[in-house]
Chain A
Amino acid sequence: MAAPEHLPPRIGSALDELRATLSRAAELARQIEGKAEPALDLKSRLADVESDREELSAKLAEYEHQVGRLMNLYVATYQLHATLDPGEVQATIAEIAINLLGAERFVLLFRKGGKNESGECEIAFAEGLDESPAAFYRNGIYQGGDPALDATLADGVLRIGPLEGSEAMAVVPLTVQGTPVGALVILKLFDHKAMLRPEDRDLLDLIAAHAASALFAARVYSQADRKLKTLESLVALVRRQ
């Protein structure tokens, strides 16, 4: 190819123009590359922010769930110890079973004579027991024979089903100073609650730890109060004479 100085003037100026255009194009390409880097950086930062947002929203949901779980535990404990009336304590245990655990059929058992006796268990409260297929519970007494319940009454250990040979979904020991004095037996949950959830375990543990002592305290108070009133009537009678 001939050198530019040897080219006709028209072609030479066209080449100069082409060179200038190419140089401008190269400059523009450099500028665009320079701008693309911050855009890529921004995209990467946006991805990070979105990932953080998702993580935070998962944490918030978990936090709200934990708050709900703790609220249930607090309210259950508060209500169990809010009264010294044995009937109200029993009603609270039933309310926890129904409203917080979703138990449709359950039975609350207490040993006759309290913690110093190892005899048969009386039915303190029951819900839906008429529909129970097993004949373990009759005439207000637990007749014995459910292996999981017998075991819990002996060792005070919480058992969650399925339990071999037992119709219970969960057997919750009721203990006073480490001695089993009864049990809450959950026989069936509502149809819309398929199974016990992990957080239900906390409630079952709470019942095991608090229900018996609350009921025991209420019964002792009730007996003491009855005796006191009897004595006061006797004293009043003697004074009148």
Chain B
Amino acid sequence: MKATKVLVVDDSKLLHRMFEMMLRGFPLVHAFDGREALDRLAEHKDVELILLDINMPRMNGLEFLTAVKAHPEFARIPVVIITTEGTEDDTERGMQAGAAAYVKKPFRNEELLSVISRLTASPAA
């Protein structure tokens, strides 16, 4: 079975390293802000899941999410927001913008893996 390709969008190198460790077996595409993420999506049209931070330079996560959901080709890709912005308002804003799930940092690995398994219908490594 073909592994799910995941786009990781976060300005923290530490978290990119963390996702590499957590998601062994998933091909990862990395971007450090929203604008770079849009470029990566254009290059990797087979991305099937996006893990997205909110606070980023140049283009923040919500702007990126809005752009993705307005794009006919990318709108179907489930987006998991992973952020320190943890109020109910923040969560609602993210979900209204079209996120499939909302995970607050710091997260427990098993919590994120369970969300990924649910969205990709395949057990996360």
Contacts and interface: CB of A to CB of B under 8 A. Distances in A.
A182 interface: no
Given A68-B109, A190-B105, 7 more contacts: A71-B109, A75-B17, A75-B18, A78-B17, A99-B15, A99-B106, A193-B106
Interface stretch (A16-24, A42-50, A90-98, A207-215): A90-98
A41 interface: no
Interface residues of B, number: 17
A190 B109 contact: no
Contacts of B22: 71
Chain A interface, DSSP helix/strand/loop, else mixed: helix
Interface of A: 61, 64-65, 67-68, 71-72, 74-76, 78-79, 82, 92, 95-96, 98-102, 104, 190-193
Contacts of A67: 109
Interface string B85-125: 01100000000000000001110111000000000000000
A102 B84 CA distance: 8
Nearest to B111: A68
B110 to A, nearest CB: 5
Contact of B105 (A61, A82, A99): A99
Interface of B: 12-15, 17-18, 21-22, 84, 86-87, 104-106, 108-110
Contacts of B21: 71, 74-75
Nearest to B113: A64
Given A72-B18, A92-B13, A98-B84, A192 B110 contact: no
A92 B15 CA distance: 10
